[in-house]
């Protein structure tokens, strides 16, 4: 079974049987020692198996496949892990939604999936949660509750889909910027000039490299230039200053410092060592 959160939500929404019974944690008493209590509302969805949950002072709720338990903010639930079960937990934080797929095999827990997604705004989706809060005192209104829960899950799917599209666009933009640097490394590139070429802000360009490339803009630019400098030092008998300028470094002294920092050798030492190794190979 695929435990991608987006696909799980899609299967729930498109299932012929659909969402089943909606349970509500209406606990007025203090939580027990083993209860789960947080400041934000949550949904617990049973994907497979049966889960008993002492979510109020009465008899434990019996949640079967595609049943949902709604726990309002600051309320608690107390699952009884008596038999194998797989659940999807959704936490509605102020800034983001948290998804967690958990499997209990009867003796150990295993996290099958975990994901976060940013909310589009503090009020987006809040009215649906508020509507669920209104139903806590009317748990028999199952048709209305199922409609609201389905709407919330659909909203979650939309958020996750937007995140995937944004990540895809960011990756494509990063690759385009990287190709641009690889082609124009010898020019006087700056963070500002490259950002302007792609109609984005310099800060967003830096963010793009840190998030998508896991490396800073200047670090990538210098790495690209140094790799080309190594090629020139190996193949051509150019002066160090000429190599520096050919690779986009205005200041040859800065080029030498940076080269030594990255290779532990000066450009001249790097060239001599390379030719020395070539001579040894030809002799042998």
What pLDDT is attached to residue 191?
A: 94
Q: Are 116 and 167 in contact (CB under 8 A)?
A: no
Q: Is the pLDDT of residue 18 over 90?
A: no
Please give the order of strands across the beta sheet that includes 61-63.
61-63, 51-53, 79-80
Rounded Cα–Cα distance for residues 114 and 216 (Å): 28
Q: How far apart are CA 164 and CA 91, in angstroms?
A: 19
Residue 282 has pLDDT above 80, yes or no: no
Q: What is the pLDDT of residue 159?
A: 85
Is residue 152 over pLDDT 70? yes
HSE toward the beta carbon, residue 61, CA cutoff 13 A: 26
For every residue of the chain, DSSP letters joined together read ----HHHHHHHHHH-SS-S-PEEE----SPPPTT-EE-SS-EEEEEEEE-EEE--SSSSPEEE-TT-EEEE-TT-EE-EE--S-EEEEEEEE-SSEEEEEEEEE-SS-EEEEEEEEEE-S-TTTTHHHHHHHHHHTT-TT-HHHHHHHHHHHHHHHHHHHHHHHHHHHHHHHHHHHHHHHHHHHTTS---HHHHHHHTT--HHHHHHHIIIIISS-HHHHHHHHHHHHHHHHHHH----HHHHHHHTT-S-HHHHHHHHHHHHSS-HHHHHHHHHHHHHHHHH-
Q: Are 125 and 155 in contact (CB under 8 A)?
A: yes
Query: Which candidate, 101, 94, 100, 98, places its Cα nearest to that of 125?
Result: 94
pLDDT in tens, 36-85: 787 889 999 999 999 988 877 667 889 999 999 998 988 888 888 889 99
Round the average pLDDT of the chain to a whole number and report it: 86
Q: Give residue 57's pLDDT.
A: 61
* pTM (global) more than 0.85: no
Task: Give the pLDDT band (50/70/90) at residue 22.
Answer: very high
Per-residue pLDDT band for 111 (boundaries 50, 70, 90) equals: confident
- For 163-183, what is each residue's pLDDT tens digit? 766 667 788 889 899 999 999
């Amino acid at each position: 079974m695929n435990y991608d959160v987006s696909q799980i939500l899609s299967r729930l929404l498109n299932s012929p049987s659909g969402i089943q019974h909606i349970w509500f944690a209406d606990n007025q008493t203090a939580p027990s020692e083993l209860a789960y209590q947080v400041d934000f509302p949550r949904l617990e969805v049973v994907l497979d198996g049966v889960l008993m949950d002492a979510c109020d002072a009465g008899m434990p709720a019996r949640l079967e496949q595609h049943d949902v338990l709604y726990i309002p903010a600051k309320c608690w639930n107390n699952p009884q892990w008596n038999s194998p079960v797989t659940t999807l937990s959704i936490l509605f934080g102020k800034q983001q939604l948290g998804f967690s797929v958990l499997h209990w095999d009867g003796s150990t827990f295993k996290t099958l999936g975990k994901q976060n997604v940013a909310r589009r705004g503090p009020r987006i989706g809040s009215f649906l949660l508020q509507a669920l809060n209104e139903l806590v005192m009317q748990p028999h209104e199952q048709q209305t509750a199922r409609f609201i829960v389905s709407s919330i899950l659909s909203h979650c799917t939309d958020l996750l889909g937007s995140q995937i599209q944004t990540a895809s666009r960011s990756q494509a933009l990063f690759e385009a910027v990287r190709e641009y640097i690889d082609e124009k490394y010898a020019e006087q590139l700056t963070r500002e000039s490259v950002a302007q070429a792609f109609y984005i802000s310099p800060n967003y360009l830096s963010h793009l490299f840190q998030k998508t490339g896991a490396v800073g803009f200047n670090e990538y630019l210098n790495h690209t230039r140094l790799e080309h400098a190594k090629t020139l030092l190996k193949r051509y008998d150019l002066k160090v200053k000429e190599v520096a300028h050919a690779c986009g470094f205005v200041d040859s002294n800065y080029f030498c410092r940076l080269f030594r920092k990255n290779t532990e050798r000066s450009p001249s030492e790097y060239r001599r060592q390379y030719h020395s190794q070539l001579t040894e190979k030809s002799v042998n």
